[in-house]
Structure 1
Amino acid sequence: MQALIDQIEASLASRLYFLSIFTSLSLPDIAGALSSDNGEASSKKFIAWYEDWVRPRFRENVVSQSPPHIGQYIKELANPFDGESCYRFRCSLLHQGSTQHPKSKFDRIIFIEPGATTNVIHYGQINGALCIDLPGFCSEVLQGARAWLAAHEVHENVQRNLSRFAQRHSGGLAPYIVGVPVIG
Protein backbone atom coordinates (compact mmCIF):
# COMPACT_ATOMS: atom_id res chain seq x y z
CA MET A 1 0.00 0.00 0.00
CA GLN A 2 2.92 2.34 0.66
CA ALA A 3 3.95 1.99 -3.00
CA LEU A 4 0.46 3.14 -4.05
CA ILE A 5 0.66 6.14 -1.71
CA ASP A 6 4.10 7.02 -3.11
CA GLN A 7 2.83 6.77 -6.68
CA ILE A 8 -0.09 9.10 -5.95
CA GLU A 9 2.42 11.65 -4.65
CA ALA A 10 4.52 11.16 -7.78
CA SER A 11 1.47 11.66 -10.01
CA LEU A 12 0.75 14.98 -8.26
CA ALA A 13 4.37 16.10 -8.70
CA SER A 14 4.18 15.10 -12.38
CA ARG A 15 0.95 17.09 -12.87
CA LEU A 16 -1.00 13.92 -13.67
CA TYR A 17 -4.11 15.24 -11.97
CA PHE A 18 -6.66 12.74 -13.27
CA LEU A 19 -4.51 9.89 -11.96
CA SER A 20 -4.06 11.70 -8.65
CA ILE A 21 -7.78 12.24 -8.09
CA PHE A 22 -8.96 8.85 -9.35
CA THR A 23 -6.38 6.96 -7.32
CA SER A 24 -6.90 9.07 -4.18
CA LEU A 25 -10.60 8.22 -4.37
CA SER A 26 -9.74 4.52 -4.37
CA LEU A 27 -7.80 4.62 -1.08
CA PRO A 28 -10.82 4.74 1.27
CA ASP A 29 -12.25 1.67 -0.51
CA ILE A 30 -8.94 -0.17 -0.31
CA ALA A 31 -8.30 0.66 3.34
CA GLY A 32 -11.87 -0.17 4.32
CA ALA A 33 -11.58 -3.53 2.57
CA LEU A 34 -8.17 -4.29 4.11
CA SER A 35 -9.60 -3.74 7.60
CA SER A 36 -12.63 -5.91 7.10
CA ASP A 37 -13.26 -9.55 7.91
CA ASN A 38 -14.23 -10.38 4.33
CA GLY A 39 -11.60 -8.21 2.62
CA GLU A 40 -14.20 -6.51 0.43
CA ALA A 41 -15.13 -2.87 -0.06
CA SER A 42 -18.57 -1.39 0.56
CA SER A 43 -20.16 2.03 0.67
CA LYS A 44 -20.46 1.83 4.47
CA LYS A 45 -16.77 0.99 4.86
CA PHE A 46 -15.74 3.78 2.46
CA ILE A 47 -17.86 6.39 4.25
CA ALA A 48 -16.72 5.34 7.73
CA TRP A 49 -13.05 5.28 6.73
CA TYR A 50 -13.28 8.69 5.04
CA GLU A 51 -15.02 10.21 8.07
CA ASP A 52 -12.40 8.80 10.46
CA TRP A 53 -9.22 9.25 8.45
CA VAL A 54 -9.70 11.98 5.81
CA ARG A 55 -12.38 14.48 6.76
CA PRO A 56 -10.69 15.62 10.03
CA ARG A 57 -7.46 16.42 8.15
CA PHE A 58 -9.02 19.62 6.72
CA ARG A 59 -9.49 21.24 10.12
CA GLU A 60 -6.13 19.94 11.39
CA ASN A 61 -4.34 21.38 8.36
CA VAL A 62 -6.06 24.76 8.66
CA VAL A 63 -5.14 24.96 12.33
CA SER A 64 -1.54 23.88 11.75
CA GLN A 65 -1.10 26.43 8.93
CA SER A 66 -2.58 29.30 10.96
CA PRO A 67 -0.58 31.49 13.31
CA PRO A 68 -0.87 30.12 16.87
CA HIS A 69 -2.79 33.16 18.08
CA ILE A 70 -5.46 32.42 15.46
CA GLY A 71 -5.31 28.61 15.31
CA GLN A 72 -6.28 28.27 18.95
CA TYR A 73 -9.68 29.82 18.17
CA ILE A 74 -10.56 27.51 15.30
CA LYS A 75 -12.85 25.05 17.04
CA GLU A 76 -15.80 24.32 14.79
CA LEU A 77 -14.46 24.11 11.27
CA ALA A 78 -16.02 21.22 9.37
CA ASN A 79 -15.16 19.97 5.93
CA PRO A 80 -18.44 20.18 3.90
CA PHE A 81 -17.28 17.25 1.74
CA ASP A 82 -18.57 14.52 4.05
CA GLY A 83 -18.16 10.78 3.60
CA GLU A 84 -21.43 10.28 1.78
CA SER A 85 -20.72 13.16 -0.62
CA CYS A 86 -17.24 11.83 -1.29
CA TYR A 87 -18.58 8.31 -1.88
CA ARG A 88 -21.14 9.58 -4.39
CA PHE A 89 -18.44 11.61 -6.12
CA ARG A 90 -16.20 8.55 -6.20
CA CYS A 91 -18.98 6.50 -7.80
CA SER A 92 -19.78 9.07 -10.46
CA LEU A 93 -16.13 9.81 -11.29
CA LEU A 94 -14.74 6.27 -11.27
CA HIS A 95 -17.70 4.58 -12.95
CA GLN A 96 -19.09 7.24 -15.27
CA GLY A 97 -16.20 9.70 -15.55
CA SER A 98 -18.55 12.40 -14.28
CA THR A 99 -18.15 15.06 -11.61
CA GLN A 100 -21.90 15.12 -11.11
CA HIS A 101 -23.95 12.60 -9.16
CA PRO A 102 -27.76 12.79 -9.31
CA LYS A 103 -28.08 12.39 -5.52
CA SER A 104 -25.25 14.74 -4.55
CA LYS A 105 -25.97 17.79 -2.46
CA PHE A 106 -23.64 19.67 -4.85
CA ASP A 107 -24.40 20.35 -8.52
CA ARG A 108 -20.91 19.15 -9.34
CA ILE A 109 -17.44 18.83 -7.84
CA ILE A 110 -14.69 20.92 -9.43
CA PHE A 111 -10.95 21.12 -8.87
CA ILE A 112 -8.73 24.06 -9.76
CA GLU A 113 -5.38 22.92 -11.10
CA PRO A 114 -2.37 24.00 -9.05
CA GLY A 115 -0.64 27.12 -10.32
CA ALA A 116 -3.62 28.28 -12.40
CA THR A 117 -4.27 31.10 -9.93
CA THR A 118 -2.75 32.54 -6.79
CA ASN A 119 -6.05 31.99 -4.98
CA VAL A 120 -6.71 28.72 -3.21
CA ILE A 121 -10.33 27.65 -2.91
CA HIS A 122 -10.63 24.54 -0.78
CA TYR A 123 -14.14 23.26 -0.11
CA GLY A 124 -15.69 26.52 -1.23
CA GLN A 125 -19.20 26.46 -2.64
CA ILE A 126 -19.69 28.46 -5.82
CA ASN A 127 -23.11 28.54 -7.52
CA GLY A 128 -23.99 25.04 -6.30
CA ALA A 129 -20.61 23.52 -7.11
CA LEU A 130 -18.09 22.44 -4.50
CA CYS A 131 -14.63 23.70 -5.45
CA ILE A 132 -11.80 21.66 -3.97
CA ASP A 133 -8.09 22.40 -4.02
CA LEU A 134 -6.69 19.40 -5.90
CA PRO A 135 -3.39 18.97 -4.02
CA GLY A 136 -5.15 19.75 -0.74
CA PHE A 137 -7.69 16.98 -1.25
CA CYS A 138 -5.12 14.42 -2.34
CA SER A 139 -2.87 15.42 0.55
CA GLU A 140 -5.69 14.92 3.07
CA VAL A 141 -6.41 11.46 1.68
CA LEU A 142 -2.72 10.55 1.75
CA GLN A 143 -2.33 11.87 5.31
CA GLY A 144 -5.28 9.74 6.36
CA ALA A 145 -3.92 6.69 4.56
CA ARG A 146 -0.50 7.02 6.18
CA ALA A 147 -2.00 7.49 9.65
CA TRP A 148 -4.37 4.58 9.12
CA LEU A 149 -1.61 2.32 7.82
CA ALA A 150 0.66 3.15 10.78
CA ALA A 151 -2.17 2.41 13.23
CA HIS A 152 -3.53 -0.72 11.53
CA GLU A 153 -0.82 -2.51 9.56
CA VAL A 154 -0.29 -5.01 12.39
CA HIS A 155 -3.99 -5.89 12.77
CA GLU A 156 -4.91 -9.44 11.82
CA ASN A 157 -7.46 -8.53 9.11
CA VAL A 158 -5.09 -6.04 7.52
CA GLN A 159 -2.20 -8.51 7.53
CA ARG A 160 -4.36 -11.22 6.00
CA ASN A 161 -5.84 -8.93 3.36
CA LEU A 162 -2.52 -7.22 2.54
CA SER A 163 -1.15 -10.61 1.51
CA ARG A 164 -3.48 -10.34 -1.51
CA PHE A 165 -2.67 -6.69 -2.22
CA ALA A 166 -1.26 -6.04 -5.71
CA GLN A 167 2.47 -5.49 -5.62
CA ARG A 168 5.46 -5.31 -7.93
CA HIS A 169 7.55 -8.46 -8.27
CA SER A 170 10.87 -7.43 -9.86
CA GLY A 171 11.83 -10.97 -10.92
CA GLY A 172 8.38 -12.10 -11.98
CA LEU A 173 5.76 -14.14 -10.18
CA ALA A 174 6.30 -17.88 -10.44
CA PRO A 175 4.71 -20.05 -11.70
CA TYR A 176 3.11 -17.50 -14.03
CA ILE A 177 5.95 -15.34 -15.38
CA VAL A 178 9.57 -15.30 -14.29
CA GLY A 179 12.53 -13.14 -15.25
CA VAL A 180 10.64 -9.91 -15.92
CA PRO A 181 8.98 -7.46 -13.55
CA VAL A 182 5.23 -7.89 -13.08
CA ILE A 183 2.54 -6.35 -10.96
CA GLY A 184 0.20 -8.87 -9.45
Structure 2
Amino acid sequence: MDAVISEVRCCLESGNYRAALVLALIIPDVYGLIEHPECRKESKKRYVAWFNDHILVSYAKKFTPEGGVSESYFDGDMCYSLRCKLLHEGNNQIDVKSINVSGDKGCRFELRLIVGGSDSYGRAIYSVPGCETVMVRQVTLNITDLCEALCSGAEDFCRTRNKDDFNNRQLNYVDLSKMTGSLNVGH
Protein backbone atom coordinates (compact mmCIF):
# COMPACT_ATOMS: atom_id res chain seq x y z
CA MET A 1 0.00 0.00 0.00
CA ASP A 2 3.00 2.30 0.20
CA ALA A 3 2.69 2.55 -3.58
CA VAL A 4 -0.92 3.74 -3.33
CA ILE A 5 -0.03 6.42 -0.79
CA SER A 6 2.91 7.51 -2.94
CA GLU A 7 0.72 7.62 -6.06
CA VAL A 8 -1.96 9.68 -4.28
CA ARG A 9 0.68 12.24 -3.31
CA CYS A 10 2.19 12.19 -6.80
CA CYS A 11 -1.26 12.89 -8.30
CA LEU A 12 -1.74 15.78 -5.88
CA GLU A 13 1.64 17.27 -6.74
CA SER A 14 0.87 17.12 -10.46
CA GLY A 15 -2.61 18.63 -10.03
CA ASN A 16 -4.52 15.42 -10.84
CA TYR A 17 -7.00 15.93 -8.02
CA ARG A 18 -9.73 13.59 -9.24
CA ALA A 19 -7.25 10.73 -9.68
CA ALA A 20 -5.77 11.43 -6.24
CA LEU A 21 -9.20 11.45 -4.62
CA VAL A 22 -10.38 8.26 -6.32
CA LEU A 23 -7.21 6.47 -5.27
CA ALA A 24 -7.27 7.86 -1.72
CA LEU A 25 -10.88 6.77 -1.25
CA ILE A 26 -9.89 3.09 -1.58
CA ILE A 27 -7.56 3.32 1.44
CA PRO A 28 -10.30 2.75 4.07
CA ASP A 29 -11.54 -0.24 2.02
CA VAL A 30 -8.17 -1.97 2.14
CA TYR A 31 -7.18 -1.06 5.69
CA GLY A 32 -10.71 -1.62 6.96
CA LEU A 33 -10.48 -5.23 5.79
CA ILE A 34 -7.11 -5.65 7.53
CA GLU A 35 -8.49 -4.25 10.79
CA HIS A 36 -11.89 -5.94 10.53
CA PRO A 37 -11.42 -9.25 8.66
CA GLU A 38 -14.68 -10.49 10.18
CA CYS A 39 -16.45 -7.92 7.97
CA ARG A 40 -15.16 -9.35 4.67
CA LYS A 41 -18.65 -9.21 3.12
CA GLU A 42 -19.64 -5.93 4.79
CA SER A 43 -17.54 -3.32 2.99
CA LYS A 44 -19.54 -0.34 4.24
CA LYS A 45 -19.33 -1.46 7.87
CA ARG A 46 -15.54 -1.93 7.81
CA TYR A 47 -14.96 1.22 5.72
CA VAL A 48 -16.96 3.42 8.09
CA ALA A 49 -15.39 1.86 11.17
CA TRP A 50 -11.83 2.32 9.88
CA PHE A 51 -12.49 5.91 8.81
CA ASN A 52 -14.11 6.80 12.12
CA ASP A 53 -11.31 5.15 14.10
CA HIS A 54 -8.40 6.69 12.18
CA ILE A 55 -9.54 9.79 10.27
CA LEU A 56 -12.60 11.24 12.00
CA VAL A 57 -10.59 13.40 14.40
CA SER A 58 -9.48 15.48 11.38
CA TYR A 59 -13.12 16.50 10.86
CA ALA A 60 -14.21 17.02 14.46
CA LYS A 61 -16.47 19.89 15.47
CA LYS A 62 -16.72 18.91 19.13
CA PHE A 63 -14.83 16.59 21.45
CA THR A 64 -15.87 14.56 24.48
CA PRO A 65 -14.14 15.25 27.83
CA GLU A 66 -12.10 12.07 27.17
CA GLY A 67 -10.82 13.47 23.86
CA GLY A 68 -13.08 11.47 21.55
CA VAL A 69 -15.08 13.04 18.75
CA SER A 70 -18.65 13.85 19.77
CA GLU A 71 -19.63 15.70 16.59
CA SER A 72 -18.03 16.00 13.17
CA TYR A 73 -18.82 17.71 9.91
CA PHE A 74 -17.56 14.77 7.79
CA ASP A 75 -17.57 11.14 8.93
CA GLY A 76 -17.15 7.57 7.74
CA ASP A 77 -20.70 7.31 6.40
CA MET A 78 -20.23 10.44 4.35
CA CYS A 79 -16.83 9.33 3.08
CA TYR A 80 -18.23 5.92 2.11
CA SER A 81 -21.08 7.61 0.26
CA LEU A 82 -18.57 9.89 -1.51
CA ARG A 83 -16.48 6.85 -2.44
CA CYS A 84 -19.52 5.08 -3.91
CA LYS A 85 -20.79 8.11 -5.82
CA LEU A 86 -17.38 9.04 -7.20
CA LEU A 87 -16.31 5.52 -8.16
CA HIS A 88 -19.65 4.35 -9.55
CA GLU A 89 -21.28 7.52 -10.89
CA GLY A 90 -18.43 10.01 -11.28
CA ASN A 91 -19.95 12.67 -9.03
CA ASN A 92 -19.96 13.86 -5.42
CA GLN A 93 -23.73 14.07 -4.91
CA ILE A 94 -23.70 11.89 -1.82
CA ASP A 95 -26.82 10.14 -0.61
CA VAL A 96 -28.13 11.92 2.49
CA LYS A 97 -30.62 9.15 3.23
CA SER A 98 -27.69 7.05 4.41
CA ILE A 99 -26.28 9.86 6.53
CA ASN A 100 -27.40 10.78 10.00
CA VAL A 101 -27.97 14.51 9.68
CA SER A 102 -28.99 15.27 13.25
CA GLY A 103 -31.31 18.19 13.65
CA ASP A 104 -31.57 18.74 9.92
CA LYS A 105 -34.93 17.14 9.12
CA GLY A 106 -36.22 18.44 5.79
CA CYS A 107 -32.81 19.92 5.07
CA ARG A 108 -31.05 19.38 1.75
CA PHE A 109 -27.39 18.39 1.84
CA GLU A 110 -24.62 19.66 -0.37
CA LEU A 111 -21.03 18.40 -0.39
CA ARG A 112 -18.60 20.67 -2.18
CA LEU A 113 -15.05 19.66 -3.06
CA ILE A 114 -12.49 22.40 -3.51
CA VAL A 115 -8.84 22.90 -4.31
CA GLY A 116 -6.87 25.70 -2.71
CA GLY A 117 -9.31 26.64 0.04
CA SER A 118 -10.18 25.44 3.49
CA ASP A 119 -12.88 23.16 4.85
CA SER A 120 -16.10 24.72 6.03
CA TYR A 121 -19.54 23.65 7.13
CA GLY A 122 -22.81 25.25 8.01
CA ARG A 123 -26.38 25.86 6.96
CA ALA A 124 -27.71 28.19 4.34
CA ILE A 125 -31.33 29.26 4.30
CA TYR A 126 -32.82 30.34 1.01
CA SER A 127 -36.06 32.22 1.29
CA VAL A 128 -37.86 33.77 -1.64
CA PRO A 129 -41.19 35.54 -1.02
CA GLY A 130 -44.05 33.35 -2.19
CA CYS A 131 -41.88 30.21 -2.30
CA GLU A 132 -41.00 27.53 0.18
CA THR A 133 -37.97 28.28 2.36
CA VAL A 134 -35.16 25.84 1.72
CA MET A 135 -32.45 25.00 4.22
CA VAL A 136 -29.24 23.47 2.90
CA ARG A 137 -26.59 21.87 5.06
CA GLN A 138 -23.28 22.51 3.31
CA VAL A 139 -19.95 20.82 3.84
CA THR A 140 -16.94 21.97 1.87
CA LEU A 141 -13.86 19.76 1.81
CA ASN A 142 -10.41 20.54 0.49
CA ILE A 143 -9.50 17.60 -1.77
CA THR A 144 -5.80 17.82 -0.93
CA ASP A 145 -6.50 17.82 2.81
CA LEU A 146 -8.88 14.85 2.54
CA CYS A 147 -6.37 12.85 0.50
CA GLU A 148 -3.59 13.73 2.93
CA ALA A 149 -5.73 12.79 5.94
CA LEU A 150 -6.42 9.39 4.37
CA CYS A 151 -2.73 8.86 3.51
CA SER A 152 -1.49 9.96 6.94
CA GLY A 153 -4.12 7.84 8.66
CA ALA A 154 -2.96 4.85 6.62
CA GLU A 155 0.68 5.48 7.50
CA ASP A 156 -0.17 5.74 11.20
CA PHE A 157 -2.21 2.55 10.95
CA CYS A 158 0.67 0.71 9.26
CA ARG A 159 3.00 1.55 12.14
CA THR A 160 0.67 -0.30 14.52
CA ARG A 161 0.43 -3.49 12.45
CA ASN A 162 2.54 -6.51 11.66
CA LYS A 163 4.05 -6.51 8.15
CA ASP A 164 2.34 -9.86 7.48
CA ASP A 165 -1.01 -8.05 7.64
CA PHE A 166 -0.16 -6.43 4.31
CA ASN A 167 0.68 -9.56 2.33
CA ASN A 168 -1.40 -9.86 -0.84
CA ARG A 169 -2.35 -6.17 -0.74
CA GLN A 170 -0.33 -5.09 -3.77
CA LEU A 171 -1.41 -4.74 -7.37
CA ASN A 172 0.82 -7.10 -9.34
CA TYR A 173 1.46 -6.15 -12.93
CA VAL A 174 4.27 -6.25 -15.46
CA ASP A 175 5.35 -3.07 -17.23
CA LEU A 176 6.38 -4.45 -20.61
CA SER A 177 7.89 -1.15 -21.71
CA LYS A 178 10.49 -1.53 -18.97
CA MET A 179 11.20 -5.12 -19.96
CA THR A 180 11.73 -4.70 -23.72
CA GLY A 181 15.46 -4.09 -23.34
CA SER A 182 16.02 -7.21 -21.28
CA LEU A 183 13.88 -9.37 -23.57
CA ASN A 184 15.48 -8.07 -26.82
CA VAL A 185 12.00 -7.48 -28.21
CA GLY A 186 12.01 -6.07 -31.72
CA HIS A 187 15.66 -6.97 -32.47
Q: TM-score, normalised by structure 2?
A: 0.68
Where do 5+ consecutive residues of structure 1 fail to align?
60-73, 115-119, 173-177
Identity of aligned residues (%): 22
Preserved contact between residue 94 and residue 111 of structure 2 (Cα < 8 Å): no
Are 2:122 and 2:138, in contact at CA under 8 Å, matched by a contact in 1? yes
CA drift of 1:95 comes to 1.0
CA distance in 1, matches of 2:50, 2:14: 28
Does 2:85 match 1:92? yes
Structure with greater proportional strand content: 2
Check the 8 A contact 2:39/2:45 in 1, yes or no. Answer: no
Q: TM-score, normalised by structure 1?
A: 0.69
1:14 maps to which residue? 14
Change in CA separation of 1:41 and 1:16 when aligned onto 2, cut-off 3 Å: farther
Distance 1:150 1:75 in 2: 21
Residue 166 (str. 1) matches residue 171 (str. 2): yes
For residues 65-123 of structure 1, give each alpha carbon's deviation from its aligned partner in whole angstroms, at most 9, with x where no partner exists: xxxxxxxxx99785310111111121111111121133244623211222xxxxx3314
CA RMSD in angstroms, aligned pairs only: 3.1
Largest Rg, 1 or 2: 2
Structure 2 gaps of 5+ residues are 61-66, 102-107, 125-136, 181-187
Tell me the CA shift for residue 37 of structure 1. Answer: 5.2
> SS of the residue aligned with 1:34?
helix
SS in 1 for 2:157: helix
Give the aligned partner of residue 68 of structure 1: none
Partner of 2:139: 130
**1:8–1:23 CA contact under 8 A, matched in 2:** yes
Question: How is 1:47-66 mapped onto 2 (pairs within 5 angstroms)?
Answer: 47-58=48-59
Q: Runs of at least 4 residues of structure 1 off by over 4 A?
A: 37-41, 74-78
Question: Relative to 1, partners in 2 of residues 1:77 and 1:11: Cα closer, same or farther, differing over 3 Å?
Answer: farther
Structure 1 partner of 2:2: 2
Q: 2:161 aligns with which of 146, 152, 164?
A: 152
Match of 2:132 in 1: none
1:109 match: secondary structure: strand
Partners of 1:132 and 1:164 lie apart in 2 by 28
Tell me, in whole angstroms, the C-alpha distance in 2 between the residues paired with 1:80 and 1:38: 26
Deviates more, 1:74-83 or 1:94-103: 74-83
